[in-house]
Amino acid sequence: MRIKQISVNGLFGIFDHVIPLNMDERITIIHGPNGFGKTAILRILNSFFNSRYSEFRNIPFKNFRVEFDDDTSIIDIIPKNSDNADDFQGNFKRYNILFILYQNSEMVNLQQKPESLEELKKNINIRLIESQRLLNFAPKRSLRLSAEKPSMVSTVSAYSDEIAQLMQDKFKEYGTISQFLDRTFPIRVVKHQPSADLTDEQLRHQLNELEVTRSRLIEVGLLDKEEDSEVQIQPQDIDESTKNALSVYIEDMEKKLSVFAEIASKIELLKKIINNKFAYSYKEINFSKEKGFIFTTLYNSSLTDSTSLSATDLSSGEQHELVLLYELLFKVKPNSLVLIDEPELSLHVGWQVQFLKDLQEITQLADLDILMATHSPDIIQDRWDLTVELKRPEK
């Protein structure tokens, strides 16, 4: 299930907006003057689906409606002090809000079936990427109190630690599968019956494909050369006596390396996009299981012998870009609706021009819908067909 349209009436006591989402290209851009409610709309949507109802207190509106692509369900969110809010089912007294669910054009009694609303919400994943994204709350251990205390840390540093852990987890999974397959390899070779149609040329091609995959995984930091050294097999080594063992070996290696398929594709795309941008400032990003992000300078300077950089050496624009792209690729479930507020923040015009193309690659790989609010015509470029303009009321 996907959201196909959202609408709001009486936003700030002034504005009525209807926003149909682009269901085909999966990217919708809302734009308009400051104060017309772009950020407020994203916050209302995020607050409802992530059960942060207290945030409704700070955004005045009469009615917020969410419609879905199955054409059977509609949700209305109504502050109880609104003129058009009667005292009926769905009342959240603590927050003074009414939630009303319609299914097949009939109102669902949420007092008798409260699970109906929660079930519908479970089918919709929403993530808001806010304009303030360079600092993050993270637990910090106090030596004196030996307790976890929240503190503000660089989001880039936090995500560097996170990607390192993700890579380590995948490598452990790879090791577990490898141990099992290696332990059972001899008996499976004895029992295996290779296809009679399998040719020597096909085996050579499959072995070459494995080496390409290994090289790719080494390039993105998921494998080390020492951990999975290249197996050199000459054409003359492939004959009827070796075909059976090689066939099982290839199947095993495909199973082992498939563990990395999803994370490798995401790291590759992130690395490609970021390094294309960082090249302008002579910087480069790489990845490792131990350190996560590795930043280096490609510029030889007489001021320092070191080529390594820390997250704080990145500009605010570089950090904004890295955090935003990382969130899209690694923090969001497939088939989610991602709300992005002001993606142009701190970005050079050239980066803004490229942003939509990068976003299209990411949405295809990560299977996402995007609703973003922007002031930047450089983000939009010639894709005004993806936009919805927020307008002032007609007099």
Domain coordinates in residue numbering, the chain: 3-125+332-389, 164-261, 263-316
Give, in degrees to the nearest 5, the angle at Cα 156 between 153 and 159.
95
Instruction: Quickly list DSSP for 324-366.
Output: HHHHHHHSS-TTEEEEEE-TTTT--HHHHHHHHHHHHHHHHHH
pLDDT in tens, the chain (395 residues): 899 999 999 999 999 999 999 999 999 999 999 999 999 999 999 999 998 888 888 899 999 999 999 888 999 999 876 554 444 444 555 667 888 999 988 898 887 788 888 888 889 999 999 888 777 765 544 444 445 556 677 899 999 999 999 999 999 999 999 999 989 888 888 877 766 677 778 888 888 888 899 999 999 999 987 655 545 555 566 666 677 788 888 889 999 999 999 999 999 999 999 999 999 889 999 999 999 999 999 876 655 556 889 888 899 999 999 999 999 999 999 999 999 999 998 888 989 999 999 999 999 999 999 999 999 999 999 999 999 999 998 87
How many Cα atoms within 13 Å fall on the side-chain side of residue 391? 7
Residue 231 has what pLDDT? 53
Residue whose entry in the numeric block shows the structure tokens 């300077």: 301
d(C-alpha 341, C-alpha 132), whole Å? 9
Task: List pLDDT tens digits, range 200-220.
Answer: 788 888 888 888 999 999 999
Cα separation of 74 and 308, whole Å?
53
In the chain, what are the helix, strand and coil shares in percent, each to the nearest 5? 45, 25, 35
Q: What is the pLDDT of residues 333-349, one digit of tens each?
A: 999 999 999 999 888 89
Q: Is residue 108 within 8 Å of 116, Cβ to Cβ? A: yes
pLDDT at 195: 67
Closest CA to 57 of 80, 32, 75: 80
Q: Which amino acid belongs to residue 247?
A: S
Measured in degrees and rounded to the nearest 5, phi and psi for residue 97 equal -125, 145
Q: What is the pLDDT of residue 196?
A: 66
Quick one: pLDDT at residue 202? Answer: 83
From CA 60, how far away is CA 57, in angstroms rounded?
7
pTM confidence score: 0.86
d(C-alpha 375, C-alpha 22), whole Å: 19
CATH architecture of 3-125+332-389: 3-Layer(aba) Sandwich (3.40)
